[in-house]
Structures are given as structure tokens and as C-alpha cells.
Structure 1
């Protein structure tokens, strides 16, 4: 079982900022994604203003500041035992835990919300799916929300 003084679940802006602020502390950032993204830039990719690659953050933002990047998914948390069970089967002990998994798009449970073409917009997969639909000739869309 591996141990870190601080573990952050989530590899977005909060996790990266913590790694930078805490410097060479014993910090581990856990995220399942292959790359961390600049999420607010995703609409510009869909519009064709910037390439997808420009939305990806370098892992060095974590590792150059002494952090350890773990690409895995937390499947359970034992708060009393201060441990995390991972999808890979690995177990991690922590001194302190920060859960910074970000926002989740809310699609209200209204008639039609499960139809093809109704989607959230949060992840790289969402961006790719929407880009594909736009590239295929989408002419009209309804956007609900102002995030």
C-alpha cells in the first residue's frame, strides 16, 4: 500500500493549483483521464478557433512541482482508515484528502432528455462528440445553461 500525505482526487484546475502552491510536499493527484484539459477553452475548439491539442495541460504542471500523478479511478474511500481503493486494485493511504472532481452537467429529467443528441458538455469525450455532430453538418442547436 502506497502512502501520500495529501491526495487530491481530480486533476483539474484545483488539483494542479494545489500542487503548485504546496511545492515539494508529498502530494498525489489522481485522475482517470489521460490528459487534463482547459475546460473553458472547449467551445473554441468546437468553433474551430483553436486546435484540440491547445486545450491539454502538461502533466509537468503537477510533476515539476513535486507532485505525483496517478492515472487511475477511485472506486471507494475508507474515511476512517484514510485509504482509497482504486480501479486498478491498488490501495493508497492518505494523511489528508481533497475531493476536487469538479462540476457535473445536470440534464433535467424532462420528456425527451434521453433522446439522441441531448448531451452534457464537460469532458473531452463530450467535446469530441459535439465536434463530430457539428462537422457532420448540424445546422441548429439549443443550449441550456450559461456555464
Structure 2
């Protein structure tokens, strides 16, 4: 165990009961428990077995007491800074790509249309079908009007 008088006092207070612990000792015990539980959970999530995760949780729990909470929190912030920087870069890169894509958004701007004889023939056949449909509808309407007028 660490040679910290706070730890010795905390252990003595635990032996006497939690009612005798100061707020600082209670906070320290809570921080130690939190570090141990999160260390265990992180190790399990990374694929460690129960013994390895338990060892990681115990070492994380008492690491704060061994090196002090300021160094422990500083180290945790520094370890998270790299991941935060990478995430920030990914977000900025994604935004830049999205803006670049939106700036050139025009219909068929990146395609080349090749008009072949077959495409021309198909387009003409489609236009002829539309024209015939319109004429057929027109003839039907006029035929119905003629029938109504000649009754």
C-alpha cells in the first residue's frame, strides 16, 4: 500500500466505520472505487479475461493513490487528447468533403452523354408513343363530344 498518511487514515476510518471518515476520505474512496470499476470494464471491453481485467481494475484503482490525483487526472486527459484530436480531424474532414460535394452539385455535371443511333431511335420511339397517346386521347374526347351533339 502507499506510504500516504491519507491512505492509512482512510484504512483506519474504514475499520472504525464510515461515520468517522472525513469528506476528503469519502471522496478519495469513491474515486478509488470508480477508477477500479472503470478500469475493469475497459479491460473487459478490450477483450481481456476476468483475471486480466481484475488486475487492470485493481492497478487502476490504486494508481491514483500511488501517484496522486493531479498526475492521474493529467495523464487521463493526455491519453484522451489524442483520440479527441483524431475525432476532431475526422469531423472537419467530413465537413470539408460535404461542402466540396455541395459546391459542385449540378445535374449530370460529371457525366458525358454519348448520343448513339440506338439512343436516338429509342428517344424518337418514346416521343412517337407520347404523341400517339395524346392524339388517341384527343380523338376519344372529340368522339364523345360528337356523339353527345348528334343525339
Settle same-fold status: TM greater than 0.5. Answer: no
TM-score for both structures, normalised by structure 2 = 0.23
Which has more radius of gyration? Answer: 2
The structure where helix makes up a greater share of residues is 2
The structure where strand makes up a greater share of residues is 1
